[in-house]
Amino acid sequence: MQGIIIKNISNKYTVIAEENKYICEARGKFRHTKDTPLVGDKVEFDEKTNIIKEIYPRINKFDRPPVANIYATIIVASLKKPDLDLYLLDKMLTTINNKCLKVIIMFTKIDLCNEDEIKQAKNLKKYYESLNYSVYFNNDAKAISTIKKELRNKVVTLVGQSGAGKSTFLNKLSPSLNIDTHPISDALNRGVHTTRHTEIYDIEGIYFVDTPGFSALELNMNQEELKASFPEFNNYLNKCKYKDCNHDKEEDCIIKQMVKEKKILESRYNNYLSFKKEIYESSRKLFR
Ligand SMILES: Nc1nc2c(ncn2[C@@H]2O[C@H](COP(=O)(O)OP(=O)(O)O)[C@@H](O)[C@H]2O)c(=O)[nH]1
Ligand SMILES: [Mg+2]
Ligand SMILES: [Zn+2]
């Protein structure tokens, strides 16, 4: 039988298959291959002995939290309360990089914006869409139904600052859920996250990974990977004076030129420079 692992507590795997749950174990061959099953894995198991026999090839694998096959990440970013933080948004995009097949940006609280801010938000939507991300506003009912259709039967994760509107979004997907939502002040006062096990919840046929660990944003990459995580740079591959241009202090850099011409968003470029510095500094720490 085929199923998806939705929970792992002390190597007792809860597998969901045709709406039923089975508590399975992995024995024998997985001990030798080091390749132990992960939450998110699609597996073949014996429904009589409850033994996992096979792990299907993964589309990706994350270490913290340990989870596999995340098809999409939904980034919830509020425009107000808390104010839009483009550094954080770009950092999340870079961290996710190309690991997921799909990235969705969900802007919230446009109802709290003034006219100028709405205009700016719409321009941002267009820009990020040009980078091949799906971008929606959370008050768009059509967006909710599109997302429901697109993510059906997929493993999905939801990230974003505390107070951004993640719980509110889940309630919109499935009104019967009734998850607690908190104004920011409350959210901040709820204390530190306690570590929990990773678990997947089926919400309207979408498998949401509940992942406290995903809030730790580490730029675990080298400078080349950083560059590659900015899709807008790829449009100008090899057009700088130096083939391995870092688009920083170099002269005749097409990327800097495009920022001047407003073809590349200045905030994106500045965030790129910040990430570049952060990666450089953490690598220096490593070798000290
Ligand atoms: N005005 C407005 N408030 C919202 C919106 N989305 C969420 N909120 C409010 O923002 C607060 C934080 O939302 P919540 O879903 O708990 O955020 P979470 O911490 O990301 O789960 C709550 O008081 C929500 O009612 C929105 O689109 N507009
Ligand atoms: Mg919440
Ligand atoms: Zn350059």
pLDDT tens over the chain, length 288 residues: 999 999 999 889 999 999 899 999 997 777 666 778 999 999 999 999 999 999 999 999 887 778 899 999 999 999 999 999 999 999 999 988 778 889 999 999 999 999 999 999 999 999 999 999 999 999 999 999 999 999 998 999 988 988 999 999 999 998 887 778 877 544 444 444 444 677 898 898 899 987 655 555 778 899 999 999 999 999 999 899 998 999 999 999 999 999 999 999 999 999 999 999 999 998 887 776
Q: Are residues 114 and 176 in the same domain?
A: yes
What is the number of the ligand 1 atom nearest to the C-alpha of 180?
A: 16
Judge whether 89 lies within some domain: yes
Closest residue by Cα to atom 4, ligand 1, is 109
pTM exceeding 0.95: no
Among the three residues 167, 198, 215, which one is the final residue of a domain in this structure? Answer: 215
What is the number of the ligand 1 atom nearest to the C-alpha of 162?
A: 19
Q: Are residues 75 and 156 in the same domain?
A: yes
What is the number of the ligand 1 atom nearest to the C-alpha of 182?
A: 16
Helix ranges, the chain (H): 29-33, 86-96, 115-130, 141-150, 166-173, 184-189, 223-228, 231-234, 254-260, 266-287
- Expressed as residue numbers, the domain containing 53 is 2-57
Judge whether 88 lies within some domain: yes
The pLDDT of residue 181 is: 81
Which of 181, 188, 189, 211 to mutate to test ligand 1, by most ligand atoms within 8 A of the CB atom? 181
Q: Which residue has the tokens 């409850």?
A: 50
Judge whether 112 lies within some domain: yes
Among the three residues 23, 38, 57, which one is the final residue of a domain in this structure? Answer: 57
Closest residue by Cα to atom 3, ligand 1, is 109
The phi, psi pair for 147, rounded to 5°, reads -65, -45
- Given its phi and psi angles, is residue 222 left (phi above 0), alpha (psi -120 to 50 degrees) or beta? beta
Q: Are residues 158 and 89 in the same domain?
A: yes
Judge whether 62 lies within some domain: no
Distance in Å, CA 198 to ligand 1 centroid: 24
Distance in Å, CA 233 to ligand 2 centroid: 34
Q: Do 41 and 52 contact (CB within 8 A), yes or no?
A: no
Domain count, the chain: 3
